[in-house]
């Protein structure tokens, strides 16, 4: 009888911590989204039911922000995945110094997002930036542009930073997947007379299907929820041009007095994300 309780004891500290920092906030957030408290006066919570959600829905920025979030997620994970796949295929061959190259390629992932944000802010700077300098030298633009102040371009600028930082993760994962493919499969295909393209299509792709789906799902989730880089570079601006749902919720928390409204946005973004995620995970169960 004693022995059966052992695992519970071991897991207990972990559970305690997780309950405090995860379960409690999760349920509190959901509860908060239905109330209308003032941050400085927690004793008075008025139940506002769906008022927060309604005002969020009616906010003129609602749809643009959702569009931003979806664009950001889909484009950045799509491009990242293609880049990572290409690089992984290249790195899969036996090269000298491969581990050094791999380490260097993985480096952006270790850099704190805020530092990367800073470097790229300088890179895209309107007076000093390397980006402007290169473009002007090549003749692509006539004058230096203020990329981060341009409402049309800013989302893509930030996307480039996020892609720089997180593509390596996909790369390493895909590389691991590629290396797990047994050689015999390629040899068998060769014996059957398959060309390089056919080998890629019928051996490589199916073998990495599972890990690709997992990486893309995880990556998409993380990008949808991304906060640090955007906040550090533009705070969601100019105006609301680079605002995602996560930063919008934070904006409400920080600059207004209603955490209830902020919580509503956060919960809404969680629900919006849940739908495609469940679909994608369902696909992986096959």
Judged by CB under 8 A, does residue 103 bind another protein? Answer: yes
Judged by CB under 8 A, does residue 122 bind another protein? Answer: yes
Least distance from another protein to the Cβ atom of residue 198, Å: 19
Cα of 75 vs its chain's centroid, Å: 11
CB atoms within 10 A of CB 101: 14
- From 67, 82, 111, 205, residue interacting with another protein (rule: CB under 8 A): 111
| Binders of another protein in range 206-265 (CB under 8 A) | 207, 210-211, 214, 218, 221, 224-225, 227-228, 231-232, 245-246, 249-250, 253-254, 259, 262-263, 265
CB nearer another protein, residue 50 or residue 104 = 104
User: DSSP assignment of 266-284, as one string?
Assistant: HHHHHHHHHHHHHHHHHHH
DSSP 48: -
Judged by CB under 8 A, does residue 59 bind another protein? Answer: no
Segment lying near another protein (by CB under 8 A), choices 24-32, 70-78, 147-155, 193-201: 24-32
The answer to whether the beta carbons of residues 229 and 113 sit under 8 Å apart is yes
Judged by CB under 8 A, does residue 101 bind another protein? Answer: yes
Beta bridge mates, 20: none
- From 46, 57, 112, 151, residue interacting with another protein (rule: CB under 8 A): 112
Least distance from another protein to the Cβ atom of residue 262, Å: 5
Q: Which of 225, 235, 266 is nearest to 249 (CA)?
A: 266
Q: Which of 272, 71, 62, 61 is nearest to 159 (CA)?
A: 71
Judged by CB under 8 A, does residue 153 bind another protein? Answer: no
Query: Under DSSP, is residue 47 helix (H, G, I), strand (E, B) or coil?
Result: strand
């Amino acid at each position: 009888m004693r022995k059966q309780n052992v695992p519970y004891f071991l897991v207990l500290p972990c559970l305690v911590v997780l309950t405090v920092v995860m379960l409690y906030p999760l349920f509190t957030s959901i509860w908060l989204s239905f109330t209308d408290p003032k941050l400085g006066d927690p004793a008075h919570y008025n139940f506002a039911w769906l008022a927060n959600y309604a005002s969020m829905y009616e906010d003129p920025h609602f749809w643009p922000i959702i569009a931003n979030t979806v664009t950001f997620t889909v484009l950045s994970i799509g491009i990242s995945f293609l880049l990572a796949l290409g690089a992984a295929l290249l790195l899969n061959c036996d090269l000298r110094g491969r581990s050094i190259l791999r380490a260097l390629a993985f480096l952006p992932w270790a850099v704190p997002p805020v530092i990367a944000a800073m470097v790229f802010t300088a890179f895209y700077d309107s007076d000093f930036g390397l980006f402007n300098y290169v473009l002007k030298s090549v003749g692509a633009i006539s004058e230096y542009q203020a990329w981060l102040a341009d409402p049309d371009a800013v989302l893509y600028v930030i996307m480039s930073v996020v892609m720089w930082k997180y593509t390596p993760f996909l790369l390493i994962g895909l590389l691991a997947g590629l290396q797990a493919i047994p050689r015999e499969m390629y040899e068998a295909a060769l014996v059957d007379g398959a060309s390089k393209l056919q080998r890629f299509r019928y051996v490589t792709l199916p073998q990495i299907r599972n890990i690709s789906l997992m990486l893309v799902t995880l990556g998409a989730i993380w990008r949808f929820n991304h906060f640090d880089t955007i906040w550090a570079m533009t705070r969601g601006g100019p105006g609301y041009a680079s605002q995602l749902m996560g930063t919008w919720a934070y904006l409400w928390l920080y600059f207004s007095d209603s955490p209830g409204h902020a919580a509503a946005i956060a919960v809404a973004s969680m629900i919006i994300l849940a739908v495609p995620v469940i679909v994608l995970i369902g696909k992986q169960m096959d």
